[in-house]
Amino acid sequence: MAVAPTPLRRFTHAEYDHAVRALLGTALEPARDFPPDLPGGGFASNRGDAVSQLGVEKLMLAAEALAADAVARLDTLVPCAATQPDAACARQFYTDLARKAYRRSADAAELDELAQLYAFGEMNAGFKVGIQVVIERVLQSPHFFYHVERTGTPLNANVAPLTGLSVADRLASFIWHSVPDVALLDAAERGELDTAAGISAQAERMLLDAKGRDGVVEFFNEYLDIEKLDLAEKNATTYPAYNATVRGEMWEETANFVDFVVRQGDARLETLLTSPLAMPSPGLAPLYGIAPGQAFTPMDPTLRSGILTHPSVLAVHAHSDQSSPVKRGAFIRDRVLCTPLPDPPPNVNANPPVVNPGATTRQRFEQHRADPTCAGCHSLIDPVGFAFEHYDGMGMFRTADGALPIDATGSLTGTDTDGPFKDGVELTKRFAASAQVRDCMATQWLRYAVRRDESAQDACSQAKIAAAFRDNGDLRQLVTAVVQSDAFRYKAKGAP
């Protein structure tokens, strides 16, 4: 058996905010003000063991704000405070808090430190402040915001199994994008996460729990790049209906759709890629040409087909004043087909061609394939992007580009489903039947789970996960296959 090293990593922004919500019941989202997440495997990862000075300051300010918010709801957070606000009540609270925050029981030295902090705060300003300083300390501990993984007896010179508690941490990070609950920690301490069957049972429970939405939505948020919608500004003259409210509603629709398919619906990749179901809020309804209030509305299946035709995805992979066959085509090659392309040649002109009312977007972008230095890559990218030309730069369906009719035909090359297609709807149906697309989706979920690129050492895990998913295309079963894999359950010796 072999597994690739998994570097030490910190919470991502989303993990941090979900974790403090689970621990303290807060509505605050302080990680939105943290320094940017670092990538790993195409997803937010924050690998490495160093936190910048700015990062340390942000963590301190977040801990202070969260602690103050928590003690403002003291009776809810610490029930014994209403009748017994003393050292015993405080110890019960911070013992439970530390266990959930550190994803293990705090040791005697750690509890003694928290007891001293509580006593200092209580002596100077009472029970409430004692609790407040303890919360601040827990939230600034590296055992909280780092994934500190421990291993059991090595299997060989290179690989050791993760302890049950470390498996619990990985499960919570993967499926909930948060910290384990008491049931998961208890299962780990009983040894139930030492087996594939025990891990699968917990994964199935967690995915169907309400917090399972967070992990599913965050996967697609990053996988589809719709996390960047806030930055996807549009030309107000070209797209007067596009604004911050519409961007938010685009994101929310896709979040609701993927959660519905994966956790509540049939969980089929085919449904994800081809369903014409729209779930727009009232403000987004005009973009679809439907009346407000018609959520869960089947669209014309000749116009919309799954997540790749969602306005959120189409808008974020477009320019401010026009659609972008290059952005859309490169996104699909990389994320849907797992065939990323090399970086463009140095000094290449990356600016989109100027909008010309006398030519369609397709005609203006054809220059890429006419230039020998660009043709190699753009002959693979552009036809895929042209397939989605029926959708403008904010994802609205159109039959004409200016005064000229849309040509969305093309031919797919370099895949297991090569051949001509008439438009994006037909292309998404081809993707739904593609073994390559299924294998790519399996790879993306593995990358998301371990927060790194796969390597040769992961080949066995990757092959087993892909084979399981290829047989049924069930996304819930894909999550189970990932958590049963060696890449998920084991750790390379010597990795931090």
Tens digit of each residue's pLDDT (9 = 90 or more) over 434-465? 999 999 999 999 999 999 999 999 999 999 99
What pLDDT score does 7 carry? 85
What pLDDT score does 371 carry? 64
Measured CA distances, 421 to 363, 377, 384, 386, 432 (Å): 18, 19, 10, 11, 14
What are the backbone angles phi and psi of residue 151, rounded to the nearest 5°? -125, 160
Residue 63 has pLDDT above 70, yes or no: yes
Mean pLDDT, range 209-232, rounded to an integer? 96
How many C-beta atoms lie closer than 10 Å to residue 86's C-beta? Answer: 13
Tens digit of each residue's pLDDT (9 = 90 or more) over 191-219? 999 999 999 999 999 999 999 999 999 99
Residue 84 has pLDDT above 80, yes or no: yes
What pLDDT score does 281 carry? 83
Higher-confidence residue of 380 and 258: namely: 258
Orientation angle between helical segments 182-189 and 196-208, nearest 10 degrees: 180
Indicate the pLDDT class of residue 289, thresholds 50, 70 and 90. confident
What pLDDT score does 376 carry? 61
What pLDDT score does 464 carry? 96
Residue 495 has pLDDT above 80, yes or no: no
Residue 419 has pLDDT above 70, yes or no: yes
Residue 374 has pLDDT above 80, yes or no: no
What pLDDT score does 35 carry? 92
Range in 253-262, 380-389, 428-437 with the lowest mean pLDDT:
380-389
- Compute the distance between CA of residue 492 and CA of residue 2 in angstroms, rounded to an integer: 8
Residue 372 has pLDDT above 60, yes or no: no
pTM of the model: 0.94
Indicate the pLDDT class of residue 347, thresholds 50, 70 and 90. low
Nearest Cα neighbor of 342 from 378, 368, 316 is 378
Residue 214 structure tokens: 């967070």
Nearest Cα neighbor of 326 from 357, 362, 358, 274 is 362
- How does the average pLDDT of the chain come out, rounded? 92
Give Cβ neighbours of residue 289 (< 8 Å, ≥ 6 apart): 397
In the chain, the percentage of residues whose pLDDT exceeds 90 is 79
What pLDDT score does 431 carry? 97
Indicate the pLDDT class of residue 382, thresholds 50, 70 and 90. confident
- Compute the distance between CA of residue 217 and CA of residue 83 in angstroms, rounded to an integer: 41
Indicate the pLDDT class of residue 368, thresholds 50, 70 and 90. low
What pLDDT score does 244 carry? 93
Residue 308 has pLDDT above 80, yes or no: yes
Nearest Cα neighbor of 165 from 193, 134, 196, 200 is 193
Residue 9 has pLDDT above 60, yes or no: yes
Range in 43-47, 94-98, 359-363, 492-496 with the lowest mean pLDDT:
492-496
**End-to-end Cα spacing for the chain:** 19
